[in-house]
Amino acid sequence: MRILLTLTVWFGLLLASAASAQSLEDLARQLPEGSFNDRAEVVAKIGATGDDRAVGLLNALGEGELRVREADGAVIQVKGRGSKAVGYDPLTGDELGPVGSGSTESIRVNNSLRRAVRAAIGLLTLSSPDAGKRLAAANTAFAAPDPEQIEALDTAIAKEGDAAVRTAMEQARAAAVLASDAPGAEKVAAIGIVARRGGTDALTVLNPYRGDADAPVAEAADKAIAGIERAQQLWNVGQNVWFGLSLGSVLLLAAVGLAITFGVMGVINMAHGELIMIGAYTTYVTQQVIRTSFPGLFDWSLLIAAPLAFLVAGAIGVAIERFIVRFLYGRALETLLATWGVSLILQQLVRTFFGPSNREVGNPSWMSGAFPLGGLSITWNRFYIVIFAVAIFVGLLLLLKRTLFGLQMRAVTQNRPMASEMGIRTARVDALTFGLGAGIAGLAGVALSQIDNVSPNLGQSYIIDSFLVVVFGGAGNLWGTFAAAFTLGVANKFMEPFVGAVLAKILILVFIILFIQKRPRGLFPTRGRAVEG
Amino acid sequence: MASTSFIDRRLGVFLALLAVVTVGVPLANTALSPESGLHVPTYMLSLIGKYLCYALLAVALDLVWGYCGILSLGHGAFFALGGYAMGMHLMRQIGSRGAYGNPVLPDFMVFLGYEKLPWFWHGFDMFWFACLMVLLAPGLLAFVFGWFAFRSRVTGVYLSIITQAMTYALLLAFFRNEMGFGGNNGLTDFKDVLGFSLSSDGTRVTLFVLSALALGGGLLVGRWITMTKFGKVLVGVRDAESRTRFLGYRVEQFKLFVFTVSAMMAGVAGALYVPQVGIINPGEFSPANSIEIVIWVALGGRGTLVGAALGALIVVAAKSWLTSAFPDAWLYALGLMFILVTIFLPQGVLGLIEKLGRGRREQPEPEAVEAEA
Amino acid sequence: MSDEVRGLKGTQLYLNDVHRSFDGYKAINGLSMVITEGELRAVVGPNGAGKTTMLDIITGKTRPDQGRVIWAEHTDLTKLDEASTARLGIGRKFQKPTVFETHTVEDNLMLSLAGDRGVKASLLFRIAKAQKARIDELLELVRLTSARHRLAGSLSHGQKQWLEIGMLLAQEPKLLLVDEPAAGMTDAETMRTAELLRDIAGKRSVVVIEHDMDFVRALDCKVTVLHRGAVLAEGSLDHVSANQEVIEVYLGR
Ligand SMILES: Nc1ncnc2c1ncn2[C@@H]1O[C@H](COP(=O)(O)OP(=O)(O)OP(=O)(O)O)[C@@H](O)[C@H]1O
Ligand SMILES: [Mg+2]
C-alpha cells in the first residue's frame, strides 16, 4: 500500500517535470528582463514548476552567478573570476568552457528578488525526495510566512509521508494562514498550531498578532506567546544548568589532578597548568602523525592521544618530583616558587618547538555537531567532555579506594614514618602519586584541546581556577573538588546573563576569597589532628 | 651575630652606594657632555629610576614575606593601585590638551561616551589628593583584605593563593571599560606634573632622585620596623605563630599592620614608576608580575631588606639585557632562577656574599649554627 | 556569675562537665576539675586520654562542645582566644618545645616579658632596667646565662624545654599549664624541674602533665588521672596508685 503510494507520487512528479520542461527554459530566458517586480514573478513561476533543475538555476541567481552571454542572449552560470571564469548550463550543469571577460553581463539581484528566490527554492525543495531537504524547506517557509504558499503547502502536506516533516509543513501552513486574510476562527486555530512549535521562531511569527484588530486573534496570540515564553524560561534554566555543568566539568578536569598533588600530598604544583598544556600538545602531535600517516584513524585520534598524554605528562611529573619537589618537602612556599619556575620553562620549551601561535586540533567526527534535547541544543564535544571528566573522577576514586597503590598512597600521606616502617617505599609512592596527578592533568589537556586554543599559554588560564576549586572544595577531599567544580561552574553560568562573563568571573573570585576566609578549610574540610605549635 | 646598630654593615654599604648613584647618575646626565664616555643619557637615567622603584617594591614584599612569613602573590596589585592613583592625576593634568580637547574628561572617557567624570575621579586634579590616594588606595585594600584573612587565620599557601586570586580579579576588573580606568589601554599620554613637562630632563632627574630617596627611605622605615620589638614579634609569628599567640600577642593585628604598611610602600613605588615609564595599564595586575617580585626577594636574600633591593636590581637588569640580547632565553633564565634559588640558595645572593666574606675573615662563629627547620 | 562557682573562694580554674569530640571521637567526655589559687596539680593518663586537649580548651585554642570553663570565679574562658587567655594570666608550655628558633635566647625572654602586647607599644618599646634585671634573673634560673646570645634554634632539646619554662615565667602568669616538661631531660634535670615547679607553686597555680612517675612523685602534690576524656581518680599519688582501675588502664600490670 505504502509502496504503491510512493510510486504514484514519484510518477506524478516525473510527469510534472516532463510537462514543464519546455516552460522552464522559457522562464529562465525571461529572468534578465523587466523590473525587479516582474522578475520576482518569473521566479515565483519557476518555483511553481516543481522542476528539480530549477533549484540549481535559482541558487545560481541568488548567488549572483547567473549572467547573460552577449553573443546570443543565452542565460548561463559563470563560476570563478577573470581569466579563470568558466561557464555552465544553469539547468543541466554542463560545462560550456571558459568565458572571456566582458563577453557576459550580470543579472542584477536586489534583496526583494533574493527573498523571492529563497521562497521559490523553499517551494521546490518541499517536493524534494530528500526528507531533510523537505524539512528545511518547511522551516524556511515557516520563518517567512507567505499566503501565496498555502496551496503549495497543502499539496506537499497531502503527499508527505514523514510525520515530523508533515508537522513542520502544517506549522508553516498555519503561519501562512495567519499572514493571509483568512477568517478569525481559522487564524485562532492556526495560532494554536504555531504555538505548539514553541521557540523563538514561533514567537517571531506570533508577535505581530498581539495587537491584531480581530480581538479573539489578539487574545489567542497573547496567550500563546505567554505560554511559549514560560516554556522558554524553563529551557533557559535548563540551558544555564547545562552550560554550568559543562564549565564545571572543565574545572573538574583541570582541578582533579591538583586535588591529588595539592589536596592529598600537600604539594603546590604551579606547573599543573603547563602539564595540561603538554597534554593538549600531545594530542596535537598525535593528530599530526595520524593525519600524515594513518588518515583512516583520525576518528580514533583522541583515544590514542589520551594514554600518550597521560604518560608524557606523568613522566614530566615524576621528573619534577624527583629533581625538585623532593628537596622541598615541608617547605610549601618554596615548592610553589620552584614549580612556578618549571612552568615558565615548560611554556618556553613549547614556544620554542611549536611556536607561540595557536595550533589546530581537530574534532573527530563523533565529537562535532550537536544534538537536540528538548529545547536545548547540546554539542557533542561538550557532552563527551562532561562524560570524560566524570569518568576520570570515578576512576580516580576507585584507584584510591580499591587498589594497593591507593592504599599505600593514603598510608604515606597520613603517617609517613609508620608507612615507611611497614615496608612501603615512600619515596617511590611520592613520585608515583605526583606522576598520577600530573598524568591526569595530561588527560585534561586532551579534552581541553577540543574546546580551547592550544597555545603555550593554555595552562596559565587554568591554574588559578583549579587551585581555587581545590581549596574551595576542601583540600584532601576528592568529593569536595567534585562539588566545588560543579557549584562554581553552574553559579558562574547563572550569573553571566545578568552581569556578563567577566564580571561573573570576578564575582566568583571575590566570593571564593571571602568564603576561604570564613571557612579556611573549604566546603568539606578533611579533619585531622592539627599539629600543635 | 646579633647586629644591633641601626645602620649595620650591609645597610650602610648599600645606602652609601645608593647615595653615590643618586648624585652620580644625574651629574653624569646633566654635567657631562653627550660625547663623554661617562655620559648617562636621559633614557638610561629613567630606566635606572624604574629599577629603583622595583627595588622599593621588593623591599615592601620582603617586609611581609621575609619577616612575617606572609608570601603575598598579589603585591603587584598594590604597586599598580599606587600607579593608577598617580596616573589619574597625570591624566587630569592633561586638561584640554588631549586629542579631544575636553577640559575635564580624559580622552578615553570622551571616546567611550562618558557624559561626566565618574565620582571616583574627583579630587585627582589636586596633587596632594593624588598623593594621599597613592597611600590610601593600596593601604585600604590591604587593610580590608588582611582584616578578613588574618582574623580567620588563613595562612601559608592558602593565603598565597587568595592573594593571587585578588590580583587576578583586579586584573579582570581593570580590563573592563566600564570600570572607568581606561580599560586595557590603561592611562597614558601624560604631559606634565605640577607644571613641569614629563619629557624635560630636569623633571626626569627629579623623578630619579625621588625614586632613590624613596628606596632609601623605604629601607630605613623597614629597618626601623624590624629592629623594634614589633619586628621581633613579626619574626616570632613567622617561626612559631602559635607561640606568639600564647604569649598574648594578637597576631592578626601585627600582620595587618605590616601588611598595610608594606602595601603603601608598594603604592609609593608604583606612583614613582608611572611618570617615568609614561603608562599604567591592567597588565601590572597580572599574577605573573607579582610572582616575579617574589623571585627578586628570594634571589637577593629574604629577611634582609637590602637583599631584596639588590635582588630586584640584579633580576630586572638581567631581564633588560637578556630580553634584548636573547629574547627567547629570558623565560628559561627566569624559570631556572626560581628553581635554583629555592633549592640551592635559600639565603639568596646576599647570604652568599656574606658567607664568603665571613669565611675569608674568620672561622664561622659557633653560634651561627643553622636553626633546624 | 553562676551559683556553682560562687562561694568557691580562691578558685583559679573551674571546669565542669566539659565535652569535646572530633569527628565523633569523644576526646573530652564530661571532664570536671577545680584548681585553686597557688595549687600545684599533676595530671597523668594514657596516651590519647585528652590531657593536651584539656589544655587546648582552657587556653581557648579549642572550643568545647558543651560545659563550663571558668577563670577566677567569673570569666568564661570558652569565649576567649589564645591571646586573651594569655593576657588573663594563663601561660602554657607545649608538649613539643616551641621557642623562637631564629631569635637569641635573650630575645625569646624579652618577647615573653609581661607588659603591653599592643602593636603601638611594641613599636615604641624600649627595655627598662628592671626588665633587663628580670631577664638576667630568669637566665640564671633556667641556667642559660652563658647561652644568652645564642640562637634558640641551636639549643639542645632539654635546653629548649628550660627556655620555654623561662619564657613562661617571664609572662608572670597566674596559672602555668606545663605539658610534659621532662621529656628529653636527664634525670638530674628532671628533678631540678620538679623542684622549680614546686617553688613556683604557692605564688602561682601550676598544672603539670607528665608521664614520668618519678617526676610526679617528686612534685609531691595532688594527682588527677585522666582516662577517655574524664577524671578516673584524684588524690595523692599513693591514693591513686592504689586504685584498681588506674592500675588497669594506666600503670599496667
Ligand atoms: N584538633 C584535633 N583534631 C582531631 N582529633 C584531635 C584533635 N586534638 C586531639 N584529637 C584527638 O583527641 C584525642 C586526645 O588527644 P590528646 O592530645 O588530648 O591526648 P593526650 O592525653 O595529650 O595524649 P599524649 O599523652 O599522647 O600527649 C586523640 O585521639 C587525638 O587524636
Ligand atoms: Mg598530649
Q: What is the ipTM of this complex?
A: 0.90
pLDDT at A434: 93
3-state secondary structure of C115: coil
3-state secondary structure of C12: strand
pLDDT at B139: 97
Residue A481 lies in a domain: yes
Domain extent at residue A514: 236-532
pLDDT at B367: 41
Minimal CA–CA distance to B157: which of A263, A477, A332, A342? A332
pLDDT at B265: 97
pLDDT of B191 higher than 70: yes
Chains within contact range of chain C (3+ C-beta pairs < 8 Å): A, B
Among C53, C61, C95, which residue has the most ligand 1 atoms within 8 Å of its CB, making it the best to mutate?
C53
pLDDT at B283: 94
Residue A120 lies in a domain: no
The predicted-structure confidence for A392-443, as pLDDT tens digits, reads as follows 999 999 998 889 988 888 888 778 888 888 888 888 998 999 999 999 999 9
Query: Measuring CA to CA, how many Å separate B209 from each of A493, B49, B214?
Result: 51, 8, 8
Q: List b or e across C180-202, with b for residues whose CB sees 16 or more CB atoms inside 10 angstroms.
A: bbbbbbeeebbebbbebbeebbe
d(CA B112, CA B129): 26
Contact status, residue B22 vs residue B213, Cβ threshold 8 Å: yes
CATH of C1-89+174-252, one of 3.40.50.300, 3.40.1280.10, 3.30.70.1350, 1.20.1250.20: 3.40.50.300
A76 Cβ neighbours under 8 A, 6+ residues apart: A66, A67, A68, A69, A87, A88, A89, A90, A96, A99, A104
pLDDT at A13: 52
pLDDT of A355 higher than 50: yes
The predicted-structure confidence for C191-236, as pLDDT tens digits, reads as follows 888 988 998 888 899 999 988 888 899 988 999 999 999 999 899 9
pLDDT at B309: 96
Looking at the structure of chain A, the number of domains it has is: 1
pLDDT at A125: 77
pLDDT at A531: 32
C-alpha R_g of chain A:
32
The predicted-structure confidence for C20-45, as pLDDT tens digits, reads as follows 998 888 999 999 999 999 899 999 98
Distance (angstroms) between ligand 1 centre and the Cα of C159 equals: 26
Chains within contact range of chain B (3+ C-beta pairs < 8 Å): A, C
pLDDT more than 70, % of chain A:
94
DSSP A145-192: --GGGHHHHHHHHHH---HHHHHHHHHHHHHHHHHTT--HHHHHHHHH
| Pocket of ligand 1, beta carbon within 6 A | A 527, 529-530; C 22, 27, 45, 47-53, 95
Contact C122 B229 (CB under 8 A): yes
pLDDT of C70 higher than 80: yes
pLDDT of B365 higher than 50: no
Q: What CATH code is carried by the domain that includes residue A493?
A: 1.10.3470
> If pLDDT is split at 50, 70 and 90, which confidence band does A76 have?
confident
Question: Quick one: average pLDDT of B341-357?
Answer: 88
> If pLDDT is split at 50, 70 and 90, which confidence band does B361 have?
low
pLDDT of C169 higher than 90: yes
Measured by CA distance, the residue closest to atom 6 of ligand 1 is: A529
Grid coordinates 609614561 are at which residue? Answer: B278
Higher pLDDT, B196 or B365: B196
pLDDT at B368: 39
Q: At what angle do helices A272-293 and A215-258 cross, to 10 degrees?
A: 100
d(CA C192, CA C182): 10
pLDDT at A280: 95
Residue A401 lies in a domain: yes
C-alpha R_g of chain B:
21
Residue A424 lies in a domain: yes
Query: Measuring CA to CA, how many Å separate B211 from each of A103, B2, B189, B206, B207?
Result: 76, 31, 21, 9, 6
pLDDT of A520 higher than 80: no
What torsion do the CA atoms of B119, B124, B128, B132 make, to the nearest 10 degrees? 60
Query: How buried is C152 (Cβ within 10 angstroms: 0-12 exposed, 13-18 middle, 19+ buried)?
Result: buried
d(CA B265, CA B130): 15
> If pLDDT is split at 50, 70 and 90, which confidence band does B301 have?
very high
What torsion do the CA atoms of B45, B49, B54, B57 make, to the nearest 10 degrees? 170
d(CA A284, CA A308): 11
pLDDT at A8: 52
pLDDT of A52 higher than 60: yes
Q: Does A466 touch chain B (CB under 8 A)?
A: no
pLDDT of B371 higher than 70: no
Minimal CA–CA distance to C72: which of C144, C119, C6? C6
Residue A405 lies in a domain: yes
Question: Quick one: average pLDDT of C173-186?
Answer: 88
C-alpha cell at A323: 629533581
pLDDT of B220 higher than 80: yes
pLDDT of B291 higher than 90: yes
3-state secondary structure of A370: strand
What residues of A are in contact with residue C96 (Cβ under 8 Å)? 532-533
pLDDT more than 70, % of chain C:
96
pLDDT at C9: 66
> If pLDDT is split at 50, 70 and 90, which confidence band does C252 have?
low
Q: Determine phi and psi for C42, rounding to 5 degrees.
A: -105, 140
Residue A159 lies in a domain: no
Amino acid occupying residue B288: A
Domain coordinates in residue numbering, chain C: 1-89+174-252, 96-172
Question: Quick one: average pLDDT of B239-243?
Answer: 92
Long-range Cβ contact pairs of B37-46 (< 8 A, separation 24 or more): B42/B201, B42/B204, B45/B204, B45/B205, B45/B208, B46/B204, B46/B207, B46/B208, B46/B276, B46/B277
Distance (angstroms) between ligand 2 centre and the Cα of B187 equals: 59
DSSP C204: B
Q: List b or e across A255-264, with b for residues whose CB sees 16 or more CB atoms inside 10 angstroms.
A: bbbbbbbbbb
CA distance C98 to chain A (A): 7
d(CA A140, CA B302): 71
> If pLDDT is split at 50, 70 and 90, which confidence band does A365 have?
confident
Q: Does A351 touch chain B (CB under 8 A)?
A: yes
Distance (angstroms) between ligand 1 centre and the Cα of C56 equals: 10
Residue A395 lies in a domain: yes
pLDDT at B86: 96
pLDDT more than 90, % of chain C:
58
The predicted-structure confidence for A294-342, as pLDDT tens digits, reads as follows 888 888 888 999 999 999 999 999 999 999 999 988 888 889 899 999 9
What residues of A are in contact with residue B298 (Cβ under 8 Å)? 337
Contact status, residue A121 vs residue A154, Cβ threshold 8 Å: no
Mean pLDDT lowest among A217-231, B70-84, B96-110, B356-370: B356-370
d(CA A462, CA A468): 10
pLDDT of A30 higher than 60: yes
User: What does the mean pLDDT of chain A come to?
Assistant: 84
pLDDT at A37: 82
CA distance A412 to chain C (A): 21
DSSP A1: -
Interface residues of C toward A, Cβ cutoff 8 Å, are: 22-23, 52, 94-96, 98
pLDDT at C205: 93
Question: Quick one: average pLDDT of A151-180?
Answer: 85
d(CA A456, CA A277): 7
Residue A16 lies in a domain: no
pLDDT at A220: 85
pLDDT at A234: 86
